[in-house]
Amino acid sequence: MENLDVMVLRTLRDWRSAGKRALLATVVRTWGSSPRPVGSIMALCEDGSVVGSVSGGCIEDDLIYRHTAAHVAPQTETGSGAAPSHRIPSGPPAFVKYGITADEAHRFGLPCGGTLELLLEYDPDAQGLAQLVSQLEQGRLMQRTVRLSDGAASLSEAVSPTALALTAAELVNVFGPEYRMLLIGAGQLTEYLATMALFSGFSVTVCDPREEYRGAWSVPGVTVLADMPDDVVTAFKPDRRSCVVALTHDPKLDDLALLEALNTEAFYVGAIGSRRNNDARRERMIEHFGQTEASLARLRGPIGIYIGSKTPPEIAVSVMAEILAVKNGVVLPRDMDVSHAKNELAVAVNDPGDVACAVLPQAG
């Protein structure tokens, strides 16, 4: 599954290029709990087709009701209080709020106390959308600035990802290319992890020079390469929206690739293996490749969050959860780290009394 924003923008481009009227809705402010974060987008076509999301579905239904003839679930009120016209209007962008009252929050499926504000752009320029999608497909990070007085949009390449910015004069939103995952090794665990990454919106590449592993690969939608992993990492050019995960347990394949990845801006670099194998890997890299503890600080291992996993699918869940947490800027507590959690478990086995006191201080 591709990046959701790119999917929305590509579909909107196609609608507008075909001469269809359409609008682009962007979440610009939220108060309290909100089903979708600021910057989320959706597009609505004049025929009632929708792509993307700004809520759990109720707000989308209201927008369809107010802006198209293909309305669903007729309602007596709207998020803005205006009477529905059942057509996409012309003119400059408009703001609409949902969930201002408890009744509206309930009616539109917002969490208790939640309010969100949308900016609606009517009939965005097809040529500008085509240019934006083209740049995103080439892996560029793009800034789109919308002038609120007339809806005119301009594009520029962004230096780094930034949060949506809204002023009295303009809306600035940064769109990034899809997240990418490079997996080293084409074994069973890789198949599960690749599948989860695909439906999480990652573009997935798998590298394995071993024919016996590549020949059994069965996950569609994944690029499979046969070159040596370190060469693949170099050609892959990991950026801040990329992660590299080594899954072969073979130092000849993993080590050089991991070292190459550590020299990039990849947001996540890690390798499967036990605590003992992880320690041995670090010792090899320090002894034979001139690394230091500081230079290896970004190398994750054992990877994943601790959920007591034993089977390949459960291990894949553990690893994918950690990757998504790092991607989303979430700092995981130490008791969820595989290495730390297993150390605690080992202590529990050797001295249950001590661990009981440590884990359950309230009981004392």
Residue 77 has pLDDT above 80, yes or no: no
Over residues 9-23, the pLDDT tens digits come to: 999 999 999 999 999
% of the chain beyond a pLDDT of 70: 81
pTM of the predicted model as reported, rounded to 2 decimal places:
0.67
How confident is residue 85, by pLDDT bands cut at 50, 70 and 90? low
Structure confidence at residue 348 (pLDDT): 55
Q: Is 130 left (phi over 0), alpha (psi -120 to 50) or beta?
A: alpha
Residue 277 has pLDDT above 90, yes or no: yes
Structure confidence at residue 51 (pLDDT): 94
Structure confidence at residue 87 (pLDDT): 86
How many Cα atoms within 13 Å fall on the side-chain side of residue 269? 22
Residue 261 has pLDDT above 90, yes or no: yes
How confident is residue 299, by pLDDT bands cut at 50, 70 and 90? very high
Measured CA to CA, the distance from residue 136 to residue 178 in angstroms comes to 8
Over residues 2-58, the pLDDT tens digits come to: 578 888 999 999 999 999 999 999 999 988 766 778 999 999 999 999 999 888 668
User: In the chain, what are the domains?
Assistant: 4-126 (no CATH), 179-332 (3.40.50.720)
* Edge-to-edge order in the sheet of strand 115-122: 50-52, 41-45, 22-31, 115-122, 94-98
Over residues 98-151, the pLDDT tens digits come to: 876 666 666 666 665 578 899 999 999 999 999 999 998 877 889 999 999 999
Sign of the CA dihedral with 160 first, then 245, 234, and 133 last: negative
Better-scored residue on pLDDT, 72 or 199:
199
Residue 213 has pLDDT above 60, yes or no: yes
Radius of gyration of the chain (CA): 24
Structure confidence at residue 142 (pLDDT): 93
